[in-house]
A and B are shown apart, each in its own frame.
Chain A
Amino acid sequence: EAQVTQNPRYLITVTGKKLTVTCSQNMNHEYMSWYRQDPGLGLRQIYYSMNVEVTDKGDVPEGYKVSRKEKRNFPLILESPSPNQTSLYFCASSLAPNYGYTFGSGTRLTVV
């Protein structure tokens, strides 16, 4: 089944403890992206990648890092999480620049 898989689905962590949210797609898509979704603010893009080793900032990149060492994987790294990063995170992938994205099921992160 074609899909984008994120792990974990739920995570509660403490301020300052580094964490990684994994994202993997099995559709051989070149384009991948991370979003956060907050009530009243909608979906906002954090980072995106156009190919292996090619990444760029979205609208809200502060406090996040990404890497794209393999085509299928696009992990999101929070080096020192803070409570304002409590949010619902989505990874997504696309075959081409102006095609629709396929989204993962989301990761609900709580930072206390």
Chain B
Amino acid sequence: EDQVTQSPEALRLQEGESSSLNCSYTVSGLRGLFWYRQDPGKGPEFLFTLYSAGEEKEKERLKATLTKKESFLHITAPKPEDSATYLCAVQAVGGAQKLVFGQGTRLTINP
């Protein structure tokens, strides 16, 4: 069974304090790993798709990396507007449109 575990559950940082969020996954064959951002009361917003180990993608202060067992979302010099819940999801080869989500990491950036 495909599984996704995110850690930590919650993370509180000071503005400018860099850190990383972890997404560990178990999947029969990885078609894609997705990162989303979700603000309270809103739908998830797509950030990145990673397809193979060693791949990296960047967007502003965010950088996502992928290994065969886990993905990291690195946040460099975060600002208060980066506060949100970050969700990781995997899609398996042959899994059609099935996405399995982790529980998310709730990130708070204090000014």
Contacts from A to B (Cβ < 8 Å)? 4, 31, 33, 40-45, 48-50, 56, 58-59, 90, 92, 94, 97-106
Contact = CB atoms under 8 A, between A and B. Distances in A.
Nearest to B95: A97
Interface stretch (B16-24, B36-44, B67-75): B36-44
A33 B49 contact: no
A97 B97 contact: yes
A98 B51 contact: yes
B91 A105 contact: no
A54 to B, nearest CB: 10
Main secondary structure on chain A at its contact with chain B? strand
A105 B42 contact: yes
Interface of B: 31-32, 34, 36, 41-49, 51, 87, 89, 91, 96-104
B96 A43 contact: no
Contacts of B101: 42-44
Given A43-B87, A97-B31, A98-B31, A90 B44 contact: yes
B32 A98 contact: yes
A106 B104 contact: no
B102 A42 contact: yes
B41 A106 contact: yes
Contacts of A100: 34, 36, 46-49
B88 to A, nearest CB: 10
Given A90-B44, A103-B45, A56 B96 contact: yes
A50 B43 contact: no
B99 A45 contact: yes
A98 B49 contact: yes
Nearest to A102: B46
A103 B91 CA distance: 17
Given A31-B97, A45-B100, 19 more contacts: A41-B103, A42-B102, A42-B103, A42-B104, A43-B87, A48-B98, A90-B43, A94-B97, A97-B96, A98-B31, A98-B32, A98-B91, A100-B34, A100-B48, A101-B34, A101-B46, A103-B45, A103-B46, A105-B42
